[in-house]
Structure 1
Amino acid sequence: MTDAQLHTVATAPERSKPLLEAAHKAAGRVPNLHALMAESPALLEGYQTLHRLAVEATGFTATERTVVWQTVNVAHGCHYCVPAHTAIARAEGIDDAVTEALRDEEPLNEPRLDALRCFTLAVLHKRGQLSPGDMQAFLDAGYDNRAVMDVVAIVAQKLMSNYVNAIFGTPLDDALREFARGSGRRAA
């Protein structure tokens, strides 16, 4: 863990200032992750852009996005993103049973969602070197090549945040504390 500054709009590099202002407008506060990432405008802008595109431009539902986000977060044991995405899921009305199963690394009751969870794990653990069986199982669940690419985009977004949180030990925001508990069995 390395010490790093949690920036405010006043202390952030010039290019990060509007990004922090946008984060504040969206969340009612500047999340500590964004305050930390502000040190690198490239990282913060890339992260925020991928997050926005995950919501606006993928073919996934809110529940499907949560499956991909939390599968990666839990696999990395991210102390920050697991509670953050639990809070996001709650705000979006995602079934708590889905969130809890993901956090507990258990299969999901809905076969299509579980296929998405398994595929995300395959992409992550195999670093994209998927077997024909990995692809076929995902396609047989009703997904398509766009969904494959959307998973890759969301995994890339989560690598940014999970790695930064592991390297710098981002402090958990007060607003997220109620959602914190074990963040997965695997270490980052």
Structure 2
Amino acid sequence: MSTFNIPKREEVSEANQAIFDQLEKQVGFVPNLYATYAHSENALKNYLDFSGAPSSLKAKEKEAVNLAVSQVNNCAYCLAAHTAIGKMNGYSDAQILELRQGKASFDSKLDALAQLAKNITENRGYTDQAVVANFFEAGWTKENLIDTISLVGDKTISNYINNTVKATLDFPAAPEL
């Protein structure tokens, strides 16, 4: 159960109302976690700008990171959302479950990415250098490394907000591992 109310459009600032309108057009609804960000005058815009910023990682690669990080941080909301988004990006149910565990036996390059995302998150940035070496050996670049770390931070923000406020799920719940 949510510890915070999910604000409705009329309960947020004009700037956040405009963002709600954009989300309605782009996504078809305002996800409850995003609406929760709107308790702050600035957090929703700041988060969307950060998460939507250009990256060397493609959408499908970002979802591999999002799934691994959200699993480590045990964020039910983000696991539900990124399971749905992962499917939209072409992952099968089995692949999504594997990515949540920080691995991808179906793709060696994604495997190195998922392992890195999991390791960064588990170790709070004190990443195992063997995992970093494996990442580079799989063909990733220094730019990809920095963008992955940024994405881990991006997803951790959402995970922490949800794990604190417990936004009501508006995506189908992710299956247990």
TM-score, normalising length: structure 2:
0.89
Distance change (3 Å), C-alpha of 1:106 and 1:124: closer
CA distance in 2, matches of 1:127, 1:158: 13
TM-score under structure 1 length normalisation: 0.85
Deviations 1:134-162 (A, max 9, x none): 32211111011111111111111111111
Pair 1:126 & 2:120 matched = no
Whichever residue aligns with residue 131 of structure 2, its letter is D
Q: How far off is 1:22 after superposition?
A: 1.6
The aligned residue for residue 50 of structure 1 is: 50
Q: Partners in 1 of 2:129 and 2:87 — Cα distance?
A: 35
Q: How many residues align?
A: 176
Query: Does residue 79 in structure 1 map to residue 76 in structure 2?
Result: yes
| 51 and 75 in structure 1: CA distance in 2 versus 1, 3 angstrom threshold | same
Identity of paired residues, percent?
28
> How far apart, in 1, do the equivalents of 2:69 and 2:146 lie?
15
**Distance verdict in 2 for CA 1:180–1:134, change over 3 Å:** closer
User: Aligned-residue CA RMSD in angstroms?
Assistant: 1.9
8 Å CA contact 2:9–2:20 kept in 1: the answer is: yes
Deviation for aligned residue 1:108: 1.3
CA distance in 1, matches of 2:169, 2:68: 19
For structure 2, the residue ranges without an aligned partner over 5 or more in a row are none
**How far off its partner does 1:114 sit?**
1.0
> Could you tell me which residue of structure 1 aligns to residue 174 of structure 2?
180
Partner of 1:108: 104
For residues 137 and 154 of structure 1, the distance between their equivalents in structure 2, rounded to whole angstroms, comes to 19
